[in-house]
Amino acid sequence: MESRRRQKADYLFGAIVVILIIVIIAVFLLAVNWKPPSFGSGGSSTGPKPLSDYSTGHVHTTVTDPSNPNRVYTGTHEGLFFSDDGGKTYLRLEGTLAREDVMGFVVDPADSQTLYASGHSIGVMHSSDGGKVWHPRSQGIPSQDVHGLSLESASPPRLRAEMASGQNYVSSDWGESWIEG
């Protein structure tokens, strides 16, 4: 009889331990905002999906490629994304800016493979291959905290970087050098 009671107690203790482990795992998954893969109609969880399906924090900028209105770039708190269907679905632009806080973005209207991005800790970055490889372009800017980036249609065109401090810097040579202005 005593042995049977002990077996029941051991079984109950084991069941309680298993339930506690399941609860701890569930709380952890909720805390990290885990979502199961969505396979959709394409049969893959790695294809384009709505921006809301990504962990993006929040959106800072959305820019349409001047030569291709279906190509949309969106800079978020958690990286740079692009869409080839006018913003219905997105892919993360992998590489240097994959998880950076991208706040400003410019597409060169004469060459859509030439891109510029800015953010809290990246200063101004430049890509000449559509975003595969990025290089710093912040020579003359005193801080890497560049909140905005725009293209002025002056002749020659000028890039304008807006700093967190409110200062503005201008480049007339596509980001090779910057002066306050």
Q: Please state, in angstroms and rounded to a whole number, the distance separating the CA atoms of residues 177 and 137.
A: 8
Low-confidence stretches of the chain (pLDDT beneath 70): 1, 26-46, 154
Phi/psi for 150 (5° steps) reads: -145, 165
pTM: 0.71
Two structure tokens written together for 142: 């005193």
Two structure tokens written together for 41: 């109609």
Q: Please state, in angstroms and rounded to a whole number, the distance separating the CA atoms of residues 64 and 49.
A: 18
At 93-121, the pLDDT tens digits run 888 888 899 999 999 998 999 999 999 88
Structure confidence at residue 31 (pLDDT): 62
Those residues whose C-beta lies under 8 Å from the C-beta of residue 95, and which sit 6 or more positions away, are 131, 132, 133, 134
Residue 87's nearest CA partner among 100, 68, 102, 105 is 68
